[in-house]
Amino acid sequence: MNRSFSRLTLVVLMAIGASVLGAFAQDKPRSGGVLTWFDYGDPGRLDVHAESPLVVQQATAGIWSGLLHWDPDDPTKLAGDLAERWTASPDGKTYTFNLRKGVKWHDGQPFTAADVKATFDRILKPDFKGPKCGASLKPIVASVELADPSTVQFRLKFATPAFLPSLASAWCRVAAKHVLEKYGDLDRPEAQIGTGPFKFKRYERGNMVEWEKNKDYFVPGLPYLDGVKQYILVGGPTQLAAAKAGKVLLWDTWPPMRKTQADELQRARGNDVEIYQWPINTVYVVYMNTTKPPFNEPDMRRAVNLAVDRQDLVAKALEGAGVPCAILDPKLVGDFALPLDEVQKAPGCRQPKDADVAEAKRLVEKHHPGGLDIEIAFRAAGNYADRAQLLVAHLRKIGIRGTLKSYESAAGYAVYGKGDFTMIATQDRAMDTTDPSNVFHIVYTTEAGSNYARYSDPKIDDLANRALRETNHDKRKQLYWELQRHILSSAPGAIAVGWVEGWFFKDKKMMNYKPAPTAYDNNTFMKVWLKE
Amino acid sequence: MRAFLSSITRFTAQQPLGAAGAVIVALLVAAAVFAPALAPHGPKETAFAPYLPPSAAFPFGTDNLGRDQLSRVIWGARLSLYVGVASVLFGVTLGALWGVVTAYFGGVADGASQRVVDTLMALPPIILALALMAALGQSVNNVVLALTILLAPTAARTLRSVVLSIKASPFIEAARAVGCPHWRVIALHVVPNTTATYIVLVTVNIAYAIVVEASLSFLGLGAPPDEPSWGAMLTAGTQALEAAPWMFLVPGLAISLTVLGLNLLGDAIRDVTDPRLRGGLG
């Protein structure tokens, strides 16, 4: 019943999206033209296996193929990409993938199962830091084996419903063995040799990423576009100005538009654009470094948890487009999410906040009489500066005086990765799939890819791992509910402010584009075409 | 008192634009000094609804985070004036001393110091300021430091040229001839004759420093974002140009009026202190 509800919710969302976006299937696809859109920042390094910023995935999305992907015609359904078909063993612990034949890499070399093995051996290597695909698959996959030149087998540590969605993640793209051997990684533009619908043409730092049509793409007739240009546009006003001027045809990326921006765009472009509201499957997190004072002290983390006014942050920073307090968003994962009624009564979430703020103040005073000064970091991206200012205002009420320190996007990630911070005011973490396990293995577990707080709680690890292994829906739901209740009532290093939603647009001349349930999917544009 | 009023009346009659500038600057100083009493709310208080248009309760409206724009503009005057005055006092004074001493002694040290000045002046000021802020990190005091480094070379070059002409004067030669030590010649005979130039440099550069601070904050490299900097307020205003035009109009007007007032006053002071122009007026 509840699983049905979850699927039904997604189907309804997709249906609404499709109807809002218009009936594009009725027109005959037309080849040619270049799609223009934007990256919110400069990707810097381009290794899709080793990096985690959306800009990296977005800059390289059309270059790569996965074994599986989310169907461009219905992004809620899994579909084969390089895998023609796949089967699971009766115990659910071995998956066999039969690969497409005749596929070529962009440099003309033939694609084989050895490339798949080389890719996943790289990602699963214990010392390889893969904050996305690696973080999702390492707990699940024991080994990848070659059965023959066009068949690979994944042996899992345990049966889990999270395996196929994780494998279909846009971060689990298949790279060429010979390219990995030649360059050692996928950081450089010259290493962007994939099997995807587009070839990597150009990367001008801070300016533009450009793809061109792969005429030897393994799906006959695709892609329709001659190319895709992604301008690197930093800052909301620049992005909005480009949209208003018609220089970008699509805004289906992070950061979403706020309502005021969407209204401004609608006034400027009128009927030329279709504007829609959409959940972006992204959680808005505040991190405290649990290895350093003052947040190595659980009382101080508890104080911050009580003081942060999630409703205020969502109302002002997201202009109301978000689900405050939720660790899992019921719109995205259905009944795996703790009911919002219960979430809204949790410490720190309940309104009015007077009692929580008083208790937080008492906790701060207990450990730091007279209050304390801390540095609060944020990346200069999206509207993070606004969110950070609101957080500083909340903390001031309990005696924590924050000084803001901003970092350029890529530099910020480096600082967070090294743990060289006291508090991160805001960091959105986008999910790779709609599986409920994702957020815990990205943010909360000890080995989570974005556990910037360096927090370790054996109970969280245990519950997350048990839920990952659980195949019975109801039992799995109970485990996730217990996990959410534990996180809401304890003092972790990461606070989920809420799930981010926002407004997006596509130009009406862009056809056959369907928004996906995650920010990372359906941005290869393999089936998109331009009307004129 | 009567003499003071009379001199103000004469100044106003002779320099009406300068007097207007003085009024604007006086208002700015009053806002800066009495900000805690004048501002109806705290500049960082986010307790109100966002995007409220100007009204009796919020004469300049509220911003996107629900802060009172009037309070932020008033506190912004304090920040602007602090940065403007502090950086100019440090930068121009440091540069002036540098120019006076090296010009007085001349020789290799003077030549070397002028090459340093050439190097610093060859760099576009805003680029140099951005680079310094990127290296120093965001804080109000670092803005002052960056501006000090930016302003010192110009002051050094200007004062050096003044001192070179003073150094050749007979009274300096006479002072040296009667056995005055160098420090005495510099302190009692050279420096007093550079005062007019120094004052003009100070008044003119305060406006410049305020604009550079606003530019740095507008670009996100000046004061931390929650500080009530007019430049940062302008940046926030660009997020909602159509929905909340008061968000950029108010700080934009504050910057424009302040710079206009300081420039008008600076021009008038220059005219009054320039002996050639003073003669003409008299």
Which A-chain residues 140-159 have CB contacts (< 8 A) with chain B?
none
* Predicted pLDDT at B276: 58
- What's the predicted TM-score (pTM) here? 0.84
Closest-CA residue of A relative to B43 is A393
Does position A20 have pLDDT exceeding 80, yes or no? no
Say how far apart CA A187 and CA A42 lie, in whole Å.
13
Please name the residue that has the structure tokens 């002072």.
B175
**Do the beta carbons of residue A291 and residue A32 sit within 8 Å?**
no
The CA distance from A236 to the nearest CA of chain B, in Å, is 7
Q: Which of A237, A267, A389 sits opposite B226 (nearest CB)?
A: A389
Give the rounded distance of the alpha carbon of A277 from its chain centre.
18
ipTM (interface predicted TM):
0.82
Closest-CA residue of B relative to A397 is B45
> Are B226 and A316 an interchain contact pair (Cβ–Cβ within 8 Å)?
no
CB atoms within 10 A of CB A28: 6
Which letter does DSSP use for residue A309 in this model? -
> Are B239 and A261 an interchain contact pair (Cβ–Cβ within 8 Å)?
yes
Say how far apart CA A58 and CA A39 lie, in whole Å.
7
Q: Which of B44, B225, B238 sits opposite A388 (nearest CB)?
A: B225
Which B-chain residues 74-133 have CB contacts (< 8 A) with chain A?
none
Q: Is A108 left (phi over 0), alpha (psi -120 to 50) or beta?
A: left
Q: Which of B44, B64, B137 sits opposite A386 (nearest CB)?
A: B64
The CA distance from A400 to the nearest CA of chain B, in Å, is 14
Say how far apart CA A442 and CA A52 lie, in whole Å.
10
Rg of chain B, C-alpha, whole Å: 22
- For chain A, give the longest Cα–Cα distance: 71
Please name the residue that has the structure tokens 């080995």.
A447
> Are B50 and A316 an interchain contact pair (Cβ–Cβ within 8 Å)?
yes
Residues of B in contact with A261 (CB under 8 A): 239-240
Which A-chain residues 253-282 have CB contacts (< 8 A) with chain B?
258, 260-261, 263-264, 267
> Are A405 and B224 an interchain contact pair (Cβ–Cβ within 8 Å)?
yes
Which letter does DSSP use for residue B185 in this model? I
Alpha-carbon separation of residue A113 from A69, A150, A239, B52, B188 (angstroms)? 17, 5, 41, 61, 88
Pairs of CB atoms within 8 A across A/B: 68
> Are B65 and A390 an interchain contact pair (Cβ–Cβ within 8 Å)?
yes
| Long-range contacts of B130-133, Cβ-Cβ distance < 8 Å, separation of 24 or more | B130/B216, B130/B219, B130/B221, B133/B216, B133/B221, B133/B222
Q: What are the structure tokens assigned to B220, written together?
A: 């996100």
> Are A390 and B46 an interchain contact pair (Cβ–Cβ within 8 Å)?
yes
Categorize the per-residue pLDDT at A15 as very low, low, confident or very high, splitting at 50, 70 and 90. low
> Are A404 and B138 an interchain contact pair (Cβ–Cβ within 8 Å)?
yes
Pairing type for strands A423-430 and A273-288 reads antiparallel
Among B138, B242, B247, B248, most A C-beta atoms within 10 A, so best to mutate, is B242
**Which range is most confident: A299-303, A319-323, B233-237?**
A299-303
The parts of chain B modelled with pLDDT lower than 50 are 279-282
> Are B65 and A388 an interchain contact pair (Cβ–Cβ within 8 Å)?
no
A404 in contact with B at a CB cutoff of 8 Å?
Answer: yes
Bridge partners, A38 (sequence order): A231
Say how far apart CA B92 and CA B187 lie, in whole Å.
17
Say how far apart CA B74 and CA B32 lie, in whole Å.
7
Segment A324-354, tens digit of pLDDT:
999 999 988 999 999 999 999 999 999 999 9
Does position A278 have pLDDT exceeding 90, yes or no? no
* Predicted pLDDT at A24: 46
Q: Which residue type does B257 have? A: L
Segment A92-151, tens digit of pLDDT:
999 999 999 999 999 999 999 999 999 999 999 999 988 899 989 999 999 999 999 999
* Predicted pLDDT at A6: 52
Say how far apart CA A427 and CA A416 lie, in whole Å.
10
Q: With DSSP H G I counted as helix, E B as strand and the rest as coil, what are the percentages for chain A, rounded to 5? A: 35, 25, 40
Q: Which of B65, B239, B244 sits opposite A316 (nearest CB)?
A: B65
Q: What are the structure tokens assigned to A167, written together?
A: 């494998």
Segment A355-378, tens digit of pLDDT:
999 999 999 999 999 999 999 999
Which A-chain residues 354-393 have CB contacts (< 8 A) with chain B?
380, 383, 385-386, 388-390, 392-393
